[in-house]
Amino acid sequence: MSTPTIDRERSGERIRRDVQTLAGPEYTLSSEAIRRYAYTDVYRATLDYFTRAWQELGFTVTEDPIGNLVARNRPPGEPVFGVGSHCDSNRNGGKWDGTLGVVSALEVCRCNAELGLDLPLQAISFLEEEGSGFGQMVLGSRIVAGRVSEQELRERIRAIDDGRPFWEHAEEAGYNPERWQQCAHILDDLTGWIELHIEQARVLQDTGRRLGVVNAIAGYVHGDITITGRADHAGATPMDMRRDSAVVAGEAIIELERLARAARSGTVGTVGEIEVSPGLINAIPGRTRISLDVRGPDDDAVHQVVRDVDQFAQRAAAERQMTATYGQRQTVPATPLDDRLVAALEAAAAETGEQFTTMISGAAHDTMCVAERVPSAMLFVPCRDGLSHTPEEDADPADAALGVQVMLGAIHSMARRSAKS
Ligand SMILES: [Zn+2]
């Protein structure tokens, strides 16, 4: 059996219609942006939209004890291939981030039926990926992966809107948070998992590629370097008598750029916060704090950059009779994706004759929490000017339709291979 070929024009049209519908007033709390998050009426309406669509295809649709949506065309216990993403949004979001992945998963299921392929499929729409409701990113998939504690769900994780615990909100919405550990079972039957998502950067657009096959999701280190010098009068203190902490901060920022460029495999480093104290035009900064955000698919390379910039800052501070200290906030390891599945996606993409590339994801996704248990990969489609988390977000349904073709091709070849073995 050769690779199934979908009618991309028709798929693109259906994807456009789904995305457009879900940008309507019924599905967003804001008229200026897409704003929907867990346990709101508009989020409920969005899940209902997908439920109806999957039921029309003869899928059984359920929600797990906290509200992750699961649609499948085989009974529980039978192996299925997983597709999906999330359909909540940033508070000031656009209509593509996440939702396009669920819509594309639905389109994979539609094409599976239309082409009579009868591939065993399971779609998932994860709850609360953006953290807009409860301030915690990838919450639904982290619950599935058991990466939260019951105490966090009962007490610590609270709604941004009213400060009440996640637990109470989940109960009020009709869920059973006391059974949260059973959410893990939604991955039990998956033989593989593919999430399609907008890229959220400009690599695809700027290189004229229509698809990115993602082979790893970057891990990261968040920390701070604080340089302590001496706050003196900016006019009265001669240049050779200063301990200006901002100068060392400046050197460290330049060094971070050099180190990240020199590091292996797509490591990136950013100083996004600079806090200068006392922060006055006529005072020499006695203390400067810079934040560090270092990411990449290679954990060793990421940690090496952090160590090196820390040591550089200490040396540079000492040369100027100052001190520098590093404090870590958070570290998350990289997620390598499945080689065989990545190769299957590359082969399916090559078969279309369209321009694609293999790349890493710098941003976090639900797939990070799936990949631990299920062979996983992701597919990126370009988004205009790399914009995301804004109403300006834009993407081309034709690229998503190409993505659907590639996903279906990869799933089909994986199924054929496992049937042979
Ligand atoms: Zn997303």
Picking from 307, 332, 357, the residue at the C-terminal end of a domain is 332
- The residues near 381 (Cβ < 8 Å, ≥ 6 apart) are 100, 196, 197, 198, 199, 204, 210, 211, 212, 395, 396, 399, 400, 402, 403
Going from the Cα of 196 to the center of ligand 1, the distance in angstroms, rounded, reads 10
| Co-location of 239 and 365 in the same domain | no
- The Å distance, Cα 386 to ligand 1 centre, comes to 13
The rounded Å distance from CA 365 to ligand 1 centre is 6
CA of 88 to the centre of ligand 1 (A): 8
Quote the domain boundaries for residue 292.
219-332
Q: For ligand 1, a single-atom ion, which residues have Cβ within 5 Å?
A: 97-98
Check whether residue 47 and residue 139 sit in a common domain: yes
Task: Tell me whether the omega of the peptide bond preceding residue 278 falls within 30 degrees of 0, making it cis.
Answer: yes
Angle at 209 between CA 396 and CA 413, to 5 degrees: 90
* Residue 178 belongs to domain with CATH number: 3.40.630.10
Measured between alpha carbons, how far is 222 from 258 in angstroms, rounded to an integer?
18
Whether residues 290 and 232 fall in one domain = yes
The Å distance, Cα 104 to ligand 1 centre, comes to 13
Residue 406 and residue 375 share a domain: yes
How far is the centre of ligand 1, averaged over its atoms, from the C-alpha of 364 (Å)?
8
205 and 223 share a domain? Answer: no
CA of 32 to the centre of ligand 1 (A): 19
Please list, in sequence order, all residues whose beta carbon lies within 8 angstroms of the beta carbon of residue 172, skipping any fewer than 6 positions away. 39
- Cβ neighbors of 130 (< 8 A, separation 6 or more) are 37, 86, 88, 89, 90, 91, 93, 97, 98, 137, 389
User: So what's the pLDDT on residue 378?
Assistant: 98
Ligand 1 centre and the CA of 98: distance in Å? 4
Give the three-class secondary structure for 214: strand
Query: How many angstroms is it from 197 CA to the middle of ligand 1?
Result: 7
Residues 230 and 181 in one domain: no
Any domain includes 263: yes
Looking at the fold, whether 353 and 386 belong to one and the same domain comes out as yes
Whole-number Å distance between alpha carbons of 204 and 229:
44
> Residue 200 C-alpha to ligand 1 middle, in angstroms?
9
Shared domain check, 229 and 203: no
User: Domains in the chain: how many in total?
Assistant: 2
Q: Read off the tokens for 420.
A: 């042979």
Using the mean position of ligand 1's atoms as its centre, give its distance from the Cα of residue 356 in Å.
Answer: 21
Assess if residue 2 is contained within a domain. no
Residues 213/402, Cβ–Cβ less than 8 Å: no
- Comparing CA positions, the residue from 230, 134, 247, 201 lying closest to residue 360 is 201
382 shares a domain with 312: no
CA of 174 to the centre of ligand 1 (A): 25
Does the residue 116 lie in any domain? yes
Residue 72 lies in a domain: yes
If you measure from the C-alpha of residue 307 to the centroid of ligand 1, how many angstroms do you get, rounded to a whole number? Answer: 31
116 Cα–ligand 1 center, Å:
31
Q: Give me the helices (H) in 73-187, please.
A: 99-114, 139-144, 150-151, 166-172
Distance 91 CA to ligand 1 centre (A): 12
pLDDT of res. 39: 98
Ligand 1: distance of its center to the CA of 148 in Å?
Answer: 20
Q: What is the CATH number of the domain that holds 250?
A: 3.30.70.360
Residues 77 and 203 in one domain: yes
Q: What burial letters (b/e) apply to 140-159, b meaning 16+ CB within 10 Å?
A: bbbbbbeebeeebbeeebbb
Per-residue pLDDT of the chain (421 residues), as tens digits, is: 588 999 999 999 999 999 999 999 999 999 999 999 999 999 999 999 999 999 999 999 999 999 999 999 999 999 999 999 999 999 999 999 999 999 999 999 999 999 999 999 999 999 999 999 999 889 999 999 999 999 999 999 999 999 999 999 999 999 999 999 999 999 999 999 999 999 999 999 999 999 999 999 999 999 999 999 999 999 999 999 999 999 999 999 999 999 999 997 889 999 999 999 999 999 999 999 999 999 999 999 999 999 999 999 999 999 999 999 999 988 889 999 999 999 999 999 999 999 999 999 999 999 999 999 999 999 999 999 999 999 999 999 999 999 999 999 999 999 988 877 6
At residue 261, what are phi and psi to the nearest 5 degrees?
-65, -40
Last residue of a domain, one of 308, 332, 356: 332
Residue 421: per-residue pLDDT: 60
pLDDT at 1: 56
Single out the residue in 309, 332, 355 at which a domain terminates.
Answer: 332
Distance 129 CA to ligand 1 centre (A): 7
Global confidence as pTM: 0.90
Q: Are 302 and 340 members of one domain?
A: no
Distance 289 CA to ligand 1 centre (A): 30
> Is the Cβ–Cβ distance between 371 and 188 less than 8 Å?
no
Q: Are residues 200 and 227 in the same domain?
A: no
Q: How many Cβ atoms sit within 10 Å of the Cβ of residue 88?
A: 28
